[in-house]
Structure 1
Amino acid sequence: MEAMELNSNVIDTPPRDAASLVMIRDGAQGLEVLLMRRHTDSSVLGGACVFPGGKLDAADSSAELLERLDRSPSELHARLGEPELSPAHAAALYVAAAREAFEEAGVLYQQVGNAEVATVDAAARASLSAGETFNALLARLGLTLDTDALVPWSRWITPRRPSVMNKRFDTRFFLAVAPADQIARHDNFETTETLWLTPRNALIEYKEGRIDLAPPQIMGLAHLSRFTTVAQARSDALTRKPPLVEPESFEEDGTRVLCYPGDERHSVRERALPTPTRLVWKDKRFEPPGGFEALFQE
Protein backbone atom coordinates (compact mmCIF):
# COMPACT_ATOMS: atom_id res chain seq x y z
CA MET A 1 0.00 0.00 0.00
CA GLU A 2 1.09 3.58 -0.55
CA ALA A 3 2.51 5.46 2.41
CA MET A 4 0.66 8.47 3.70
CA GLU A 5 1.77 11.67 1.98
CA LEU A 6 3.07 14.63 3.95
CA ASN A 7 1.00 17.82 3.90
CA SER A 8 2.84 21.15 4.01
CA ASN A 9 -0.11 23.58 3.84
CA VAL A 10 -0.75 26.15 6.54
CA ILE A 11 -4.41 26.14 7.67
CA ASP A 12 -5.89 29.25 9.27
CA THR A 13 -9.33 27.88 10.16
CA PRO A 14 -10.10 26.99 13.80
CA PRO A 15 -10.04 23.28 14.63
CA ARG A 16 -13.33 21.39 14.69
CA ASP A 17 -14.35 19.51 17.82
CA ALA A 18 -14.06 15.74 17.50
CA ALA A 19 -14.04 12.64 19.68
CA SER A 20 -12.36 9.27 19.33
CA LEU A 21 -12.60 5.99 21.24
CA VAL A 22 -9.47 3.97 22.01
CA MET A 23 -10.93 0.50 22.53
CA ILE A 24 -8.76 -2.06 24.32
CA ARG A 25 -9.02 -5.67 25.43
CA ASP A 26 -6.84 -8.36 27.00
CA GLY A 27 -5.54 -10.78 24.38
CA ALA A 28 -3.32 -13.84 24.23
CA GLN A 29 -0.21 -11.67 23.76
CA GLY A 30 -1.26 -8.97 26.21
CA LEU A 31 -3.19 -5.75 25.79
CA GLU A 32 -4.70 -5.30 22.32
CA VAL A 33 -6.13 -2.16 20.73
CA LEU A 34 -8.76 -1.79 18.02
CA LEU A 35 -7.77 -0.12 14.76
CA MET A 36 -10.17 0.48 11.89
CA ARG A 37 -8.89 1.02 8.36
CA ARG A 38 -10.61 4.05 6.86
CA HIS A 39 -12.00 3.83 3.34
CA THR A 40 -9.45 5.01 0.78
CA ASP A 41 -11.99 7.55 -0.52
CA SER A 42 -12.37 9.18 2.89
CA SER A 43 -11.57 12.90 2.95
CA VAL A 44 -9.86 12.47 6.33
CA LEU A 45 -6.96 10.00 6.60
CA GLY A 46 -8.19 7.85 3.72
CA GLY A 47 -6.68 4.35 3.90
CA ALA A 48 -5.10 4.93 7.30
CA CYS A 49 -5.74 2.81 10.39
CA VAL A 50 -7.33 4.85 13.15
CA PHE A 51 -9.21 4.60 16.42
CA PRO A 52 -12.97 4.90 15.78
CA GLY A 53 -13.97 8.54 15.88
CA GLY A 54 -15.18 11.62 14.08
CA LYS A 55 -16.36 15.18 14.37
CA LEU A 56 -18.84 16.42 16.96
CA ASP A 57 -22.35 16.74 15.52
CA ALA A 58 -24.82 19.42 16.61
CA ALA A 59 -27.30 16.69 17.62
CA ASP A 60 -24.78 15.24 20.11
CA SER A 61 -25.62 18.06 22.55
CA SER A 62 -29.41 17.88 22.20
CA ALA A 63 -31.30 17.90 25.49
CA GLU A 64 -33.05 14.64 24.61
CA LEU A 65 -29.79 12.84 23.97
CA LEU A 66 -28.05 14.21 27.05
CA GLU A 67 -30.91 12.80 29.11
CA ARG A 68 -29.90 9.35 27.89
CA LEU A 69 -26.55 9.45 29.69
CA ASP A 70 -25.87 7.55 32.90
CA ARG A 71 -24.16 10.64 34.37
CA SER A 72 -25.15 14.28 34.45
CA PRO A 73 -23.40 16.79 32.15
CA SER A 74 -21.89 18.45 35.20
CA GLU A 75 -20.28 15.15 36.30
CA LEU A 76 -18.91 14.49 32.82
CA HIS A 77 -17.68 18.08 32.58
CA ALA A 78 -15.67 17.60 35.77
CA ARG A 79 -14.18 14.34 34.49
CA LEU A 80 -13.11 15.84 31.18
CA GLY A 81 -11.09 18.54 32.91
CA GLU A 82 -11.79 21.40 30.50
CA PRO A 83 -13.36 24.18 32.60
CA GLU A 84 -13.72 26.49 29.61
CA LEU A 85 -16.37 24.20 28.11
CA SER A 86 -20.01 24.20 29.13
CA PRO A 87 -21.26 21.00 30.81
CA ALA A 88 -23.50 20.29 27.81
CA HIS A 89 -20.55 20.64 25.41
CA ALA A 90 -18.38 18.35 27.53
CA ALA A 91 -21.14 15.72 27.73
CA ALA A 92 -21.67 15.95 23.96
CA LEU A 93 -18.07 14.84 23.43
CA TYR A 94 -18.82 11.62 25.32
CA VAL A 95 -21.88 11.16 23.12
CA ALA A 96 -19.83 11.71 19.97
CA ALA A 97 -17.24 9.12 21.02
CA ALA A 98 -19.93 6.54 21.80
CA ARG A 99 -21.86 7.29 18.60
CA GLU A 100 -18.78 7.03 16.40
CA ALA A 101 -17.79 3.72 18.01
CA PHE A 102 -21.23 2.35 17.15
CA GLU A 103 -21.30 3.79 13.63
CA GLU A 104 -17.79 2.69 12.66
CA ALA A 105 -17.21 -0.44 14.76
CA GLY A 106 -20.71 -1.60 15.72
CA VAL A 107 -19.95 -1.49 19.45
CA LEU A 108 -22.47 0.25 21.68
CA TYR A 109 -21.69 1.21 25.28
CA GLN A 110 -25.14 0.99 26.79
CA GLN A 111 -27.33 0.30 29.77
CA VAL A 112 -30.91 -0.87 30.22
CA GLY A 113 -32.18 0.70 33.40
CA ASN A 114 -29.28 0.48 35.84
CA ALA A 115 -27.86 -2.73 34.38
CA GLU A 116 -24.96 -2.72 31.95
CA VAL A 117 -25.72 -4.93 28.97
CA ALA A 118 -23.45 -6.40 26.33
CA THR A 119 -25.84 -7.41 23.55
CA VAL A 120 -27.20 -5.04 20.94
CA ASP A 121 -30.09 -5.32 18.52
CA ALA A 122 -28.62 -6.81 15.33
CA ALA A 123 -30.69 -4.42 13.20
CA ALA A 124 -29.80 -1.30 15.19
CA ARG A 125 -26.63 -0.43 13.31
CA ALA A 126 -28.33 -0.94 9.96
CA SER A 127 -31.16 1.31 11.10
CA LEU A 128 -28.67 4.02 12.01
CA SER A 129 -26.97 3.69 8.62
CA ALA A 130 -30.37 3.95 6.95
CA GLY A 131 -30.99 7.34 8.53
CA GLU A 132 -32.41 6.83 12.01
CA THR A 133 -30.87 9.33 14.40
CA PHE A 134 -28.75 8.12 17.30
CA ASN A 135 -31.17 9.68 19.78
CA ALA A 136 -34.19 8.05 18.13
CA LEU A 137 -32.47 4.67 18.13
CA LEU A 138 -31.62 4.87 21.83
CA ALA A 139 -35.15 5.98 22.64
CA ARG A 140 -36.71 3.19 20.57
CA LEU A 141 -34.58 0.55 22.30
CA GLY A 142 -34.93 2.14 25.75
CA LEU A 143 -31.16 2.46 26.17
CA THR A 144 -28.92 4.67 28.30
CA LEU A 145 -25.34 5.37 27.24
CA ASP A 146 -22.75 3.94 29.62
CA THR A 147 -20.41 6.93 29.92
CA ASP A 148 -18.72 5.36 32.96
CA ALA A 149 -17.02 3.05 30.46
CA LEU A 150 -15.40 6.00 28.66
CA VAL A 151 -12.35 7.40 30.45
CA PRO A 152 -10.88 10.71 29.18
CA TRP A 153 -7.40 9.82 27.90
CA SER A 154 -5.86 12.67 25.92
CA ARG A 155 -6.64 15.76 23.85
CA TRP A 156 -4.92 16.46 20.53
CA ILE A 157 -5.19 19.70 18.56
CA THR A 158 -4.01 19.57 14.95
CA PRO A 159 -1.36 22.24 14.33
CA ARG A 160 -1.91 25.04 11.83
CA ARG A 161 0.69 23.33 9.70
CA PRO A 162 -0.68 19.79 9.94
CA SER A 163 1.30 16.73 9.02
CA VAL A 164 -0.98 14.45 7.01
CA MET A 165 -4.34 16.09 6.26
CA ASN A 166 -5.91 19.36 5.19
CA LYS A 167 -8.33 19.72 8.10
CA ARG A 168 -7.83 20.70 11.72
CA PHE A 169 -9.46 18.95 14.68
CA ASP A 170 -9.58 19.36 18.43
CA THR A 171 -9.97 15.69 19.31
CA ARG A 172 -10.69 14.22 22.74
CA PHE A 173 -9.60 10.60 23.00
CA PHE A 174 -11.44 8.33 25.43
CA LEU A 175 -10.13 4.95 26.62
CA ALA A 176 -12.71 2.16 26.88
CA VAL A 177 -12.60 -1.57 27.54
CA ALA A 178 -14.26 -3.56 24.75
CA PRO A 179 -17.57 -5.13 25.89
CA ALA A 180 -16.95 -8.86 26.28
CA ASP A 181 -19.95 -10.02 24.23
CA GLN A 182 -19.88 -7.51 21.40
CA ILE A 183 -17.80 -8.00 18.28
CA ALA A 184 -16.27 -4.98 16.57
CA ARG A 185 -16.90 -5.02 12.81
CA HIS A 186 -16.13 -2.46 10.12
CA ASP A 187 -19.11 -1.05 8.24
CA ASN A 188 -17.64 -1.36 4.71
CA PHE A 189 -18.53 2.30 4.18
CA GLU A 190 -16.44 4.52 6.41
CA THR A 191 -14.21 1.63 7.49
CA THR A 192 -13.05 -1.37 5.47
CA GLU A 193 -11.01 -3.52 7.88
CA THR A 194 -11.03 -4.34 11.59
CA LEU A 195 -7.71 -5.01 13.30
CA TRP A 196 -7.01 -6.09 16.88
CA LEU A 197 -3.28 -5.76 17.51
CA THR A 198 -0.94 -5.30 20.42
CA PRO A 199 0.37 -1.72 20.34
CA ARG A 200 3.89 -2.95 19.55
CA ASN A 201 2.71 -5.17 16.68
CA ALA A 202 0.64 -2.30 15.26
CA LEU A 203 3.72 -0.09 15.20
CA ILE A 204 5.74 -2.87 13.58
CA GLU A 205 3.06 -3.20 10.90
CA TYR A 206 3.42 0.55 10.33
CA LYS A 207 7.21 0.38 10.23
CA GLU A 208 7.09 -2.38 7.62
CA GLY A 209 4.61 -0.48 5.45
CA ARG A 210 1.61 -2.77 5.84
CA ILE A 211 -0.56 -0.12 7.49
CA ASP A 212 -0.58 3.68 7.62
CA LEU A 213 -0.86 5.58 10.88
CA ALA A 214 -1.21 9.27 11.68
CA PRO A 215 0.99 10.79 14.42
CA PRO A 216 -1.71 10.72 17.16
CA GLN A 217 -2.13 6.99 16.59
CA ILE A 218 1.63 6.43 16.55
CA MET A 219 2.09 8.21 19.86
CA GLY A 220 -1.05 6.71 21.35
CA LEU A 221 0.12 3.20 20.51
CA ALA A 222 3.56 3.96 21.93
CA HIS A 223 1.85 5.10 25.14
CA LEU A 224 -0.28 1.93 25.32
CA SER A 225 2.78 -0.26 24.75
CA ARG A 226 3.81 0.63 28.34
CA PHE A 227 0.96 -1.54 29.66
CA THR A 228 0.49 -5.29 29.52
CA THR A 229 -3.14 -5.43 30.70
CA VAL A 230 -6.37 -3.50 30.29
CA ALA A 231 -6.49 -2.94 34.04
CA GLN A 232 -3.11 -1.19 34.01
CA ALA A 233 -4.02 1.12 31.13
CA ARG A 234 -7.41 2.02 32.58
CA SER A 235 -5.96 2.66 36.03
CA ASP A 236 -3.40 5.01 34.53
CA ALA A 237 -6.12 6.96 32.67
CA LEU A 238 -8.28 7.24 35.79
CA THR A 239 -5.49 8.67 37.92
CA ARG A 240 -4.29 11.56 35.77
CA LYS A 241 -5.66 14.55 33.90
CA PRO A 242 -5.87 13.99 30.13
CA PRO A 243 -2.80 15.72 28.65
CA LEU A 244 -3.23 18.42 26.03
CA VAL A 245 -1.01 17.73 23.03
CA GLU A 246 -0.49 20.47 20.45
CA PRO A 247 2.26 19.31 18.10
CA GLU A 248 4.59 21.95 16.66
CA SER A 249 6.44 21.41 13.39
CA PHE A 250 9.66 22.74 11.95
CA GLU A 251 12.19 21.91 9.25
CA GLU A 252 15.63 20.57 10.19
CA ASP A 253 18.18 19.76 7.49
CA GLY A 254 15.36 19.62 4.95
CA THR A 255 13.34 17.16 7.04
CA ARG A 256 9.94 17.80 8.62
CA VAL A 257 9.95 17.35 12.38
CA LEU A 258 6.95 17.18 14.71
CA CYS A 259 7.74 17.97 18.32
CA TYR A 260 5.59 17.49 21.40
CA PRO A 261 5.37 19.06 24.87
CA GLY A 262 8.63 18.54 26.74
CA ASP A 263 10.80 18.74 23.63
CA GLU A 264 13.54 21.38 23.62
CA ARG A 265 11.94 23.01 20.56
CA HIS A 266 8.35 22.94 21.88
CA SER A 267 6.78 26.01 23.49
CA VAL A 268 5.47 23.88 26.39
CA ARG A 269 8.29 22.69 28.60
CA GLU A 270 6.37 20.09 30.62
CA ARG A 271 6.28 16.65 29.07
CA ALA A 272 2.75 15.46 28.20
CA LEU A 273 3.32 11.82 27.25
CA PRO A 274 5.69 9.01 28.34
CA THR A 275 6.85 8.72 24.73
CA PRO A 276 9.51 10.32 22.50
CA THR A 277 9.07 14.08 22.23
CA ARG A 278 9.50 14.27 18.48
CA LEU A 279 8.89 12.40 15.23
CA VAL A 280 10.74 12.91 11.96
CA TRP A 281 9.50 12.23 8.42
CA LYS A 282 11.81 9.58 6.97
CA ASP A 283 11.24 7.23 4.02
CA LYS A 284 7.59 8.33 3.89
CA ARG A 285 7.09 7.32 7.51
CA PHE A 286 7.15 9.13 10.85
CA GLU A 287 9.59 7.75 13.41
CA PRO A 288 11.56 9.02 16.41
CA PRO A 289 15.08 10.32 15.71
CA GLY A 290 16.47 7.23 17.46
CA GLY A 291 14.51 4.79 15.29
CA PHE A 292 11.34 2.80 15.99
CA GLU A 293 12.69 1.12 19.11
CA ALA A 294 12.70 4.54 20.78
CA LEU A 295 8.89 4.35 20.80
CA PHE A 296 9.06 1.61 23.41
CA GLN A 297 11.64 3.15 25.71
CA GLU A 298 10.76 5.11 28.85
Structure 2
Amino acid sequence: MEITSSKRSQEPAAPRFSTTIIMLRKTEKNAPFEVLLVKRAQTLRVLPGFMVFPGGVIEENDLQVAQTWLHRKPLLNMQKSPLGDTVPIEFVLEGAQLFGRYVERTELYWALFATGLREMYEETGILMLDKQEQIDFVPSEQTSNETAVFLPAEQLWNQVAMRTQSLPYTRYFGRRVTPPEVKFRYDAHYFLCLAPEVVPLQLRESEIESATWLTPEEILIRFHANSLLMAPPTVDAIMALAQYASLDELLTQGFMPPQVYDEKRIRDFISRI
Protein backbone atom coordinates (compact mmCIF):
# COMPACT_ATOMS: atom_id res chain seq x y z
CA MET A 1 0.00 0.00 0.00
CA GLU A 2 1.49 3.30 -1.08
CA ILE A 3 0.73 6.97 -1.33
CA THR A 4 -0.54 7.74 -4.82
CA SER A 5 2.16 9.59 -6.77
CA SER A 6 1.14 12.54 -8.94
CA LYS A 7 3.70 11.32 -11.46
CA ARG A 8 1.79 8.05 -11.79
CA SER A 9 -1.68 9.46 -11.93
CA GLN A 10 -3.45 12.78 -11.93
CA GLU A 11 -6.53 11.20 -10.34
CA PRO A 12 -6.78 8.91 -7.28
CA ALA A 13 -7.66 5.33 -8.15
CA ALA A 14 -11.39 4.66 -8.01
CA PRO A 15 -12.27 2.47 -5.00
CA ARG A 16 -13.38 -1.07 -5.77
CA PHE A 17 -16.55 -2.38 -4.17
CA SER A 18 -15.78 -4.99 -1.53
CA THR A 19 -17.43 -6.78 1.36
CA THR A 20 -16.27 -7.72 4.82
CA ILE A 21 -18.07 -10.34 6.91
CA ILE A 22 -17.78 -9.96 10.69
CA MET A 23 -18.44 -13.46 11.98
CA LEU A 24 -19.69 -13.55 15.57
CA ARG A 25 -20.08 -16.38 18.06
CA LYS A 26 -21.08 -16.76 21.68
CA THR A 27 -18.28 -17.34 24.15
CA GLU A 28 -17.79 -18.98 27.51
CA LYS A 29 -15.52 -16.12 28.52
CA ASN A 30 -16.62 -13.17 30.62
CA ALA A 31 -17.60 -11.37 27.43
CA PRO A 32 -20.72 -11.34 25.24
CA PHE A 33 -19.14 -12.61 22.01
CA GLU A 34 -16.02 -13.32 19.97
CA VAL A 35 -15.20 -12.35 16.39
CA LEU A 36 -13.23 -14.21 13.73
CA LEU A 37 -10.03 -12.58 12.52
CA VAL A 38 -7.77 -13.99 9.81
CA LYS A 39 -4.12 -13.16 9.14
CA ARG A 40 -3.33 -12.32 5.54
CA ALA A 41 -0.49 -14.25 3.92
CA GLN A 42 2.89 -12.53 3.78
CA THR A 43 2.98 -13.06 0.01
CA LEU A 44 -0.06 -10.88 -0.70
CA ARG A 45 0.35 -7.49 -2.36
CA VAL A 46 -2.10 -5.66 -0.09
CA LEU A 47 -1.73 -5.69 3.72
CA PRO A 48 0.53 -8.77 4.05
CA GLY A 49 0.54 -10.09 7.61
CA PHE A 50 -2.36 -7.90 8.70
CA MET A 51 -5.29 -9.17 10.75
CA VAL A 52 -8.59 -8.63 8.94
CA PHE A 53 -12.12 -9.96 8.71
CA PRO A 54 -12.79 -12.37 5.83
CA GLY A 55 -13.85 -10.58 2.66
CA GLY A 56 -12.93 -9.39 -0.80
CA VAL A 57 -13.97 -7.52 -3.93
CA ILE A 58 -17.24 -7.98 -5.76
CA GLU A 59 -17.29 -10.12 -8.90
CA GLU A 60 -19.75 -10.22 -11.77
CA ASN A 61 -21.03 -13.65 -10.67
CA ASP A 62 -22.05 -12.11 -7.35
CA LEU A 63 -24.55 -9.94 -9.23
CA GLN A 64 -26.01 -13.04 -10.87
CA VAL A 65 -26.42 -14.67 -7.47
CA ALA A 66 -28.18 -11.57 -6.13
CA GLN A 67 -30.56 -11.55 -9.10
CA THR A 68 -31.43 -15.19 -8.41
CA TRP A 69 -32.04 -14.53 -4.72
CA LEU A 70 -34.33 -11.60 -5.49
CA HIS A 71 -36.29 -13.82 -7.89
CA ARG A 72 -36.46 -16.95 -5.72
CA LYS A 73 -36.59 -15.15 -2.34
CA PRO A 74 -34.88 -17.65 -0.02
CA LEU A 75 -35.71 -17.47 3.68
CA LEU A 76 -33.65 -15.30 5.97
CA ASN A 77 -32.71 -17.36 9.01
CA MET A 78 -33.77 -16.11 12.45
CA GLN A 79 -36.39 -13.91 10.82
CA LYS A 80 -37.95 -16.91 9.03
CA SER A 81 -39.22 -14.54 6.37
CA PRO A 82 -38.39 -14.45 2.64
CA LEU A 83 -35.78 -12.11 1.31
CA GLY A 84 -37.49 -8.88 0.30
CA ASP A 85 -36.77 -5.87 -1.83
CA THR A 86 -36.05 -3.53 1.07
CA VAL A 87 -32.56 -2.76 2.31
CA PRO A 88 -31.43 -1.02 5.50
CA ILE A 89 -31.68 2.75 5.50
CA GLU A 90 -28.03 2.82 6.61
CA PHE A 91 -27.06 1.50 3.17
CA VAL A 92 -26.93 4.92 1.54
CA LEU A 93 -25.97 3.97 -2.01
CA GLU A 94 -28.71 4.28 -4.61
CA GLY A 95 -26.82 2.20 -7.16
CA ALA A 96 -23.54 1.99 -9.06
CA GLN A 97 -21.99 1.31 -12.43
CA LEU A 98 -20.55 -2.20 -12.31
CA PHE A 99 -19.29 -4.49 -15.06
CA GLY A 100 -20.64 -2.30 -17.81
CA ARG A 101 -24.14 -1.65 -16.51
CA TYR A 102 -26.04 0.23 -13.83
CA VAL A 103 -26.86 -1.85 -10.74
CA GLU A 104 -29.73 -0.51 -8.64
CA ARG A 105 -29.65 -0.27 -4.85
CA THR A 106 -31.36 -3.53 -3.87
CA GLU A 107 -29.38 -5.71 -6.25
CA LEU A 108 -26.15 -4.00 -5.20
CA TYR A 109 -26.88 -4.62 -1.52
CA TRP A 110 -27.53 -8.35 -1.94
CA ALA A 111 -24.65 -8.73 -4.38
CA LEU A 112 -22.33 -7.29 -1.74
CA PHE A 113 -23.69 -9.78 0.78
CA ALA A 114 -23.18 -12.60 -1.73
CA THR A 115 -19.61 -11.39 -2.18
CA GLY A 116 -19.00 -11.64 1.56
CA LEU A 117 -20.42 -15.16 1.85
CA ARG A 118 -18.41 -16.33 -1.17
CA GLU A 119 -15.19 -14.85 0.18
CA MET A 120 -15.91 -16.31 3.62
CA TYR A 121 -16.17 -19.75 2.04
CA GLU A 122 -13.15 -19.34 -0.24
CA GLU A 123 -10.89 -18.06 2.55
CA THR A 124 -12.02 -20.07 5.56
CA GLY A 125 -14.20 -22.95 4.31
CA ILE A 126 -17.24 -21.71 6.25
CA LEU A 127 -20.28 -22.30 4.04
CA MET A 128 -23.20 -20.22 5.29
CA LEU A 129 -25.69 -21.69 2.80
CA ASP A 130 -27.90 -24.77 2.66
CA LYS A 131 -26.11 -27.79 1.20
CA GLN A 132 -28.34 -29.11 -1.57
CA GLU A 133 -28.41 -32.90 -1.86
CA GLN A 134 -28.30 -32.87 -5.66
CA ILE A 135 -24.88 -31.16 -5.69
CA ASP A 136 -21.73 -33.26 -5.41
CA PHE A 137 -19.49 -32.31 -2.50
CA VAL A 138 -15.75 -32.77 -2.46
CA PRO A 139 -13.10 -31.98 0.15
CA SER A 140 -11.27 -28.69 -0.23
CA GLU A 141 -7.53 -28.77 -0.86
CA GLN A 142 -6.24 -27.17 2.33
CA THR A 143 -7.19 -27.80 5.93
CA SER A 144 -6.29 -25.89 9.05
CA ASN A 145 -5.48 -27.43 12.41
CA GLU A 146 -9.19 -27.52 13.21
CA THR A 147 -11.65 -30.21 12.19
CA ALA A 148 -11.80 -30.84 8.44
CA VAL A 149 -15.16 -30.79 6.71
CA PHE A 150 -16.48 -31.67 3.27
CA LEU A 151 -17.55 -28.70 1.18
CA PRO A 152 -18.42 -28.11 -2.47
CA ALA A 153 -15.61 -27.47 -4.90
CA GLU A 154 -15.07 -23.75 -5.45
CA GLN A 155 -16.28 -23.88 -9.04
CA LEU A 156 -19.67 -24.98 -7.68
CA TRP A 157 -20.09 -21.94 -5.43
CA ASN A 158 -22.54 -20.17 -7.72
CA GLN A 159 -24.53 -23.37 -8.18
CA VAL A 160 -24.83 -23.82 -4.42
CA ALA A 161 -25.67 -20.15 -3.84
CA MET A 162 -28.37 -20.04 -6.49
CA ARG A 163 -30.11 -23.17 -5.20
CA THR A 164 -29.95 -22.34 -1.51
CA GLN A 165 -33.28 -22.27 0.32
CA SER A 166 -32.15 -19.98 3.12
CA LEU A 167 -29.59 -17.29 3.87
CA PRO A 168 -27.90 -16.54 7.19
CA TYR A 169 -29.27 -13.66 9.19
CA THR A 170 -27.28 -10.53 8.53
CA ARG A 171 -27.13 -6.97 9.78
CA TYR A 172 -25.52 -4.23 7.73
CA PHE A 173 -22.85 -2.76 9.99
CA GLY A 174 -21.33 0.10 8.02
CA ARG A 175 -19.05 1.35 5.30
CA ARG A 176 -15.47 2.55 4.95
CA VAL A 177 -13.91 4.06 1.81
CA THR A 178 -10.12 4.05 1.47
CA PRO A 179 -8.85 7.66 1.36
CA PRO A 180 -7.44 9.00 -1.94
CA GLU A 181 -3.88 9.11 -0.52
CA VAL A 182 -3.71 5.32 -0.63
CA LYS A 183 -2.86 3.43 -3.81
CA PHE A 184 -5.17 0.41 -3.39
CA ARG A 185 -8.64 1.74 -2.62
CA TYR A 186 -11.83 -0.06 -1.58
CA ASP A 187 -15.44 0.92 -0.98
CA ALA A 188 -15.86 -1.66 1.78
CA HIS A 189 -19.21 -2.71 3.23
CA TYR A 190 -19.43 -4.54 6.56
CA PHE A 191 -22.03 -7.19 7.42
CA LEU A 192 -22.57 -8.98 10.74
CA CYS A 193 -23.29 -12.72 10.70
CA LEU A 194 -23.84 -15.23 13.49
CA ALA A 195 -21.56 -18.24 13.18
CA PRO A 196 -22.96 -21.79 12.97
CA GLU A 197 -22.77 -23.81 16.19
CA VAL A 198 -19.92 -25.87 14.74
CA VAL A 199 -17.37 -23.77 12.89
CA PRO A 200 -14.62 -25.91 11.35
CA LEU A 201 -12.10 -23.94 9.33
CA GLN A 202 -10.29 -24.81 6.12
CA LEU A 203 -7.95 -21.96 5.29
CA ARG A 204 -6.80 -21.08 1.80
CA GLU A 205 -3.08 -20.96 2.50
CA SER A 206 -2.29 -18.78 -0.52
CA GLU A 207 -4.35 -16.00 1.09
CA ILE A 208 -4.81 -16.76 4.79
CA GLU A 209 -1.97 -17.70 7.12
CA SER A 210 -4.02 -18.32 10.26
CA ALA A 211 -7.33 -17.58 11.95
CA THR A 212 -8.37 -16.88 15.52
CA TRP A 213 -11.46 -16.12 17.61
CA LEU A 214 -11.05 -13.24 20.06
CA THR A 215 -13.26 -10.80 21.93
CA PRO A 216 -13.13 -7.17 20.76
CA GLU A 217 -11.45 -6.23 24.05
CA GLU A 218 -8.72 -8.86 23.55
CA ILE A 219 -8.10 -7.63 20.02
CA LEU A 220 -7.75 -4.01 21.10
CA ILE A 221 -5.35 -4.94 23.91
CA ARG A 222 -3.12 -6.82 21.46
CA PHE A 223 -3.35 -4.06 18.88
CA HIS A 224 -2.29 -1.37 21.35
CA ALA A 225 0.54 -3.65 22.49
CA ASN A 226 1.69 -3.82 18.85
CA SER A 227 1.24 -7.58 18.70
CA LEU A 228 -1.46 -7.34 15.99
CA LEU A 229 -1.28 -5.41 12.75
CA MET A 230 -4.62 -3.91 11.72
CA ALA A 231 -5.64 -1.26 9.22
CA PRO A 232 -7.72 1.72 10.43
CA PRO A 233 -11.08 0.39 9.09
CA THR A 234 -10.59 -2.87 10.99
CA VAL A 235 -9.75 -0.96 14.16
CA ASP A 236 -12.86 1.19 13.67
CA ALA A 237 -15.02 -1.92 13.40
CA ILE A 238 -13.49 -3.56 16.47
CA MET A 239 -13.93 -0.40 18.53
CA ALA A 240 -17.57 -0.22 17.44
CA LEU A 241 -18.15 -3.89 18.33
CA ALA A 242 -16.68 -3.31 21.80
CA GLN A 243 -19.44 -0.82 22.58
CA TYR A 244 -22.19 -3.45 22.62
CA ALA A 245 -22.99 -5.25 25.86
CA SER A 246 -24.64 -8.30 24.31
CA LEU A 247 -24.74 -10.28 21.10
CA ASP A 248 -28.48 -9.69 20.75
CA GLU A 249 -28.02 -5.93 21.07
CA LEU A 250 -25.29 -5.98 18.43
CA LEU A 251 -27.32 -8.07 15.97
CA THR A 252 -30.40 -5.88 16.32
CA GLN A 253 -28.93 -2.40 16.79
CA GLY A 254 -25.26 -2.53 15.86
CA PHE A 255 -23.79 0.03 13.48
CA MET A 256 -20.35 1.58 12.93
CA PRO A 257 -20.06 5.33 13.49
CA PRO A 258 -19.70 7.39 10.29
CA GLN A 259 -16.25 7.55 8.79
CA VAL A 260 -14.10 10.53 9.80
CA TYR A 261 -11.23 11.69 7.62
CA ASP A 262 -8.06 11.93 9.74
CA GLU A 263 -4.98 12.85 7.71
CA LYS A 264 -2.54 12.23 10.56
CA ARG A 265 -3.96 8.77 11.15
CA ILE A 266 -3.67 7.98 7.46
CA ARG A 267 -0.06 9.17 7.31
CA ASP A 268 0.85 7.24 10.45
CA PHE A 269 -0.68 4.09 9.00
CA ILE A 270 1.12 4.44 5.67
CA SER A 271 4.41 5.05 7.48
CA ARG A 272 4.04 1.70 9.28
CA ILE A 273 3.63 -0.33 6.12
Bin for the TM-score computed over the shorter chain: 0.7 to 0.9
Match of residue 172 from structure 2 = 152
Report sequence identity in percent. Answer: 23
Name the aligned partner's letter for residue 8 of structure 1: I
Determine the C-alpha separation between the residues in 2 that align with 1:207 and 1:83. Answer: 34
Match of residue 47 from structure 1 = 49
Match of residue 74 from structure 1 = 85
Q: By how many angstroms is 1:249 displaced? A: 3.8
Determine the C-alpha separation between the residues in 2 that align with 1:68 and 1:189. Answer: 35
Asked if structure 2 preserves the Cα contact closer than 8 Å seen for 1:154 and 1:173, the reply is yes
Asked if structure 2 preserves the Cα contact closer than 8 Å seen for 1:19 and 1:97, the reply is yes
Count of aligned pairs: 234
The answer to whether 1:94 aligns with 2:113 is: yes
Q: By how many angstroms is 1:73 displaced? A: 6.2
Determine the C-alpha separation between the residues in 2 that align with 1:46 and 1:68. Answer: 39
Match of residue 4 from structure 2 = 9
Q: Which has the higher contact order (CA 8 A, sep 6+)?
A: 2
Q: By how many angstroms is 1:89 displaced? A: 1.7
Match of residue 220 from structure 2 = 203
Q: By how many angstroms is 1:67 displaced? A: 4.7
* Structure-2 change in CA distance of 1:94 and 1:124 (3 Å): same
Q: By how many angstroms is 1:102 displaced? A: 1.2
CA RMSD of aligned residues (A): 3.0
Q: Gaps spanning 5+ residues in structure 2: where?
A: 6-10, 75-81, 96-103, 133-137, 140-148
Q: Output one character per residue of 1:215-261: Cα deviation in whole Å (capped at 9) or x when no partner.
A: 11111111111224311211222xx6x6542x4243xxxxx335xxx
Name the aligned partner's letter for residue 150 of structure 2: A
Q: By how many angstroms is 1:13 displaced? A: 1.7
SS of the equivalent of 1:110 reads coil
Q: Indicate which of 94, 98, 113 corresponds to 1:84.
A: 94
Determine the C-alpha separation between the residues in 2 that align with 1:42 and 1:224. Answer: 27
Name the aligned partner's letter for residue 159 of structure 2: A
Match of residue 143 from structure 2 = none
TM-score (norm 2): 0.74
Q: By how many angstroms is 1:285 displaced? A: 6.4
Match of residue 291 from structure 1 = none
SS of the equivalent of 2:198 reads coil
Name the aligned partner's letter for residue 222 of structure 2: E
- What are the within-5 Å matches in structure 2 for residues 1-298 of structure 1? 7-9=2-4, 12-29=12-29, 30=31, 31-62=33-64, 63-64=67-68, 67=71, 70=74, 71-72=82-83, 74-75=85-86, 77-78=87-88, 81-85=91-95, 86=104, 87-111=106-130, 122-125=149-152, 127-128=153-154, 132-138=155-161, 142-147=163-168, 149-162=169-182, 166-237=183-254, 244-245=258-259, 247-250=260-263, 256-258=264-266, 281=268
Asked if structure 1 preserves the Cα contact closer than 8 Å seen for 2:69 and 2:83, the reply is no
Q: By how many angstroms is 1:47 displaced? A: 0.8
Q: By how many angstroms is 1:72 displaced? A: 4.3
Q: By how many angstroms is 1:176 displaced? A: 1.0
Name the aligned partner's letter for residue 257 of structure 1: R
Q: By how many angstroms is 1:103 displaced? A: 1.2
Name the aligned partner's letter for residue 105 of structure 1: T
Asked if structure 1 preserves the Cα contact closer than 8 Å seen for 2:90 and 2:174, the reply is no
Q: By how many angstroms is 1:182 displaced? A: 2.6
Asked if structure 2 preserves the Cα contact closer than 8 Å seen for 1:65 and 1:135, the reply is no
Q: Gaps spanning 5+ residues in structure 1: where?
A: 1-5, 114-119, 251-255, 259-279, 287-298
SS of the equivalent of 2:4 reads coil
